Structure 1
Amino acid sequence: MNIIDKFSMFYVDLASMKIDGLANIYRKDVVFIDPIAQHQGLDAVERYFTRLLGNAKFCKFTIHSKAQSDEFNATVSWTMSYTSSKLNSGRPIDVDGVTVIKIENNMIVYHRDYYDLGQMVYEHIPILGRLISKIKRTVG
């Protein structure tokens, strides 16, 4: 199985994943970047996921497409569905995104997520969410 397929299978049900399973897809010196933070090294990524998943009751990814331009570069488009007791009154939130991956020796050495942090967090904070909705209606 290639690394992109392993990656996709791993993220399907993120909330039930085993943190130590990250070592099966990420190299020890991985660089992991998302709109929230940047993490250098597998240990830092494991700590990040431990904190992140501590707040999630449910977190699943639907993989829409996987494109590997060559043996070293790939992109994966997805929709993440998750619930958090701290956001949206515990109701599901869907976030669309894309992950850019760099590969060496069938391991991920670079992972960068692109998604709308507003769609993920800000729009689900009561006062801020109403303000963002009003701005979107005005601009759109």
Structure 2
Amino acid sequence: MNGFLDHFASRFVHIDRDNLSLLDELYHEDILFTDPLHRIRGLSALHRYFRAMYDRVEDLHFDFQGQDLVREGEGYLRWCMSYRHPRLAGGRPVSVEGCSHLRWEHKVHWHRDYFDAGALLYEHVPVLGGAIGWLKRRLA
């Protein structure tokens, strides 16, 4: 177990639309945040990203499932994210597993998320989701 990763995960799960100030505690002013759909530079841009995300989804939460320390100042957190969106999956909960690769000194200055963007979003869009499901079955 790593103290920094434990602290990060325990604080991150409390972020929501009403306490985005927790981002300031966790991230460096010049954070570079990347995931399969976004590339964000700077803490103020990260605030805007999270604010927009919380405006679009409901019941967003993370369940951290493990961690791996690469070396001091670098590690991975494994997680399952769940959310609901009124226009995706008929408003039912959607869950996707992923991991976050973090680099830090006193705060995280580099954060890269890895997850299946199809499982997160595309498979739950009407019509497109059906096409992706058909394609997956054909390839299996």
TM-score (norm 1): 0.93
Displaced runs of 4+ in structure 1, greater than 6 A?
none
The 5 Å alignment of 1:1-140 reads 2-15=3-16, 18-104=19-105, 106-140=106-140
Percent identity of equivalent pairs:
31
Q: Could you tell me whether the CA contact under 8 Å between 1:32 and 1:38 is conserved in 2?
A: yes
**RMSD of aligned alpha carbons:** 1.5
Q: Secondary structure at the match of 2:127?
A: helix
Q: Could you tell me whether the CA contact under 8 Å between 2:84 and 2:91 is conserved in 1?
A: yes
> CA deviation digits over 1:45-93, x for unaligned, max 9?
0000000111111011111111112211100111101111121111100
* Deviation (angstroms), 1:126: 1.3
Where do 5+ consecutive residues of structure 2 fail to align?
Answer: none
Q: Could you tell me whether the CA contact under 8 Å between 2:30 and 2:42 is conserved in 1?
A: yes
| Whole-angstrom distance in 1 between the partners of 2:62 and 2:113 | 13
Q: Could you tell me whether the CA contact under 8 Å between 1:13 and 1:59 is conserved in 2?
A: no
Q: Secondary structure at the match of 1:136?
A: helix
Greater mean alpha carbon deviation, residues 72-81 or residues 61-70: 61-70
* Deviation (angstroms), 1:121: 0.6
Q: Aligned partner of 1:111: which letter?
A: H
TM-score (norm 2): 0.93
